[in-house]
Structure 1
């Protein structure tokens, strides 16, 4: 994954397996949100006045920029240029340094530019980004309530959970739209079934391979591995993601009572108190 802008291209032929999709997504440039690109350029112009925390707040608000930074810092660790694993954006910025960050990440291409001629794909992408923001906010709130020391990692794990779907909207929008249309035509159709029908593989399969390739935080790997789904931090993130999905169109989804019940067990709170907590977090 390139750290500096280049002209992204669509695959000439659709990859037929996980390895093919991984190779493709490793080569494409990843644009970021326009607001992120603008704020980073403002900071670049006044580099001496900014620090890792300030840049981290901008990067951490954008799942795509977060993905780019964590993948890049992990690559530096692999070649021995960083001495320790990087789990959070702020850690990565501190280890890289401000000037090397700006030298590595020049002016960023934006998703709005990338998909300006495909408004339906841009809307699909932004829907996933918005869902990821809400999931991250829920996950952070639950982790804070539990006094978890790894709140930053938990926040980023929820923010990045759907990053492969974002990459599909960006770099294979016709296929993403096909999956979306199939599910609109058949509301009972499961996402993994629609993905296999259209892509030959599931996004989770691709994501597992990308996570290992880019050496992204271990919590992300555990979240998508059924063997770890009873771990408290994993349940914290997964319940936040479930809640964000089920409440995306309002709080009348019939699946939400089960989410609240499961959260009451995680947080050791009465369901009524959990309901108030999630409403406050979403306000």
Structure 2
């Protein structure tokens, strides 16, 4: 565990590259159950388990890139393809007996709650991104959903390995609602988490496409908009549907999907009484509608 910030970005990258990344206890349990039934388990079954856990997902991606590196004609950009490339039995051999987040943070209950909240948030973001990419007839829905799941990877890692620093950042923002997250990160860590994330993606040889999709600076691209809006909606609706940023989020989502406000609220399963009336009434002009999605899980 780190109680003090490291000296620079390179030191952070080295630290996380040398660490054993933990996964959710539930993921470990599901994978062990699957291993016990290996004759009945497919690669897609394994991928479904992995895609509920951002840290397990990045472990698989980093391993497949390093394992097959020079032999790959193109990047592996989805978990299903990574598992298929590895094979079911080699997958279970490689990821046997993983360390869990719950064990890592057993003496840090505040941090455990904090990281589980972030993971829950990115799970919702991935679900939103998946649904919207499907409606947009995206060329590869899984890539978009995975980018949303990994969008806040560095924040999750910080909660796991430097919980006191993560709590400090959170407390500063709660005390000053105008404090931007990047400013709080630089105050506590001396770096921005986004810069750390990009550096880790490079060090772990993660697919360049995922870097592009996770980078909000590429927001002119519809696929990146899909990821960014899903991440923003999940973040701004963490507590309730009254965040001041939500009107802009919803307007942008309507534009991306070409749907009306009423349709979007129905699809998100937001009770009308839970949001400000002005927010419920705002809408883009009617355009081509799409069938409703399930509620985010």
Q: What is the TM-score when the length of structure 2 is the normalising length?
A: 0.88
2:252 paired residue number = 262
1:36 paired residue number = 27
Q: How does 1:13-162 map to 2 (within 5 A)?
A: 14-80=5-71, 82-162=72-152
Distance 1:225 1:213 in 2: 17
CA contact (8 A) 1:77 1:85 kept: no
CA contact (8 A) 1:11 1:24 kept: no
Residues 155 and 83 of structure 1, relative CA distance in 2, 3 Å threshold: same
CA contact (8 A) 1:77 1:83 kept: no
Distance apart, 1:226 and its partner CA: 5.1
1:201 paired residue number = 191
Distance 1:12 1:169 in 2: 11
SS at match of 1:32: coil
State yes or no: 1:211 paired with 2:201. yes
State yes or no: 1:228 paired with 2:218. yes
2:160 paired residue number = 170
Deviations 1:195-214 (A, max 9, x none): 00000000000001111222
1:3 paired residue number = none
Distance apart, 1:138 and its partner CA: 0.7
Distance apart, 1:12 and its partner CA: 7.7
SS at match of 1:168: helix
CA contact (8 A) 2:147 2:227 kept: yes
1:6 paired residue number = none
- Alignment length, in residue pairs? 273
State yes or no: 1:271 paired with 2:261. yes
SS at match of 1:281: coil
Residues 203 and 246 of structure 1, relative CA distance in 2, 3 Å threshold: same
CA contact (8 A) 1:60 1:89 kept: yes
Q: What is the TM-score when the length of structure 1 is the normalising length?
A: 0.92
Distance apart, 1:77 and its partner CA: 2.7
Residues 226 and 169 of structure 1, relative CA distance in 2, 3 Å threshold: closer
Deviations 1:62-94 (A, max 9, x none): 1111111011111123243x5542111110000
Distance 1:179 1:12 in 2: 13
SS at match of 2:268: helix
Distance 2:85 2:73 in 1: 9
CA contact (8 A) 1:140 1:151 kept: yes
CA contact (8 A) 1:141 1:281 kept: no
Distance apart, 1:51 and its partner CA: 1.3
State yes or no: 1:181 paired with 2:195. no
RMSD: 1.6
CA contact (8 A) 2:105 2:112 kept: yes
Deviations 1:88-109 (A, max 9, x none): 1110000001111111111111
Deviations 1:173-230 (A, max 9, x none): 1111111111111111110000000000000000011112222233431145455211
CA contact (8 A) 1:204 1:224 kept: no
Segments ≥4 residues shifted beyond 4 Å: none
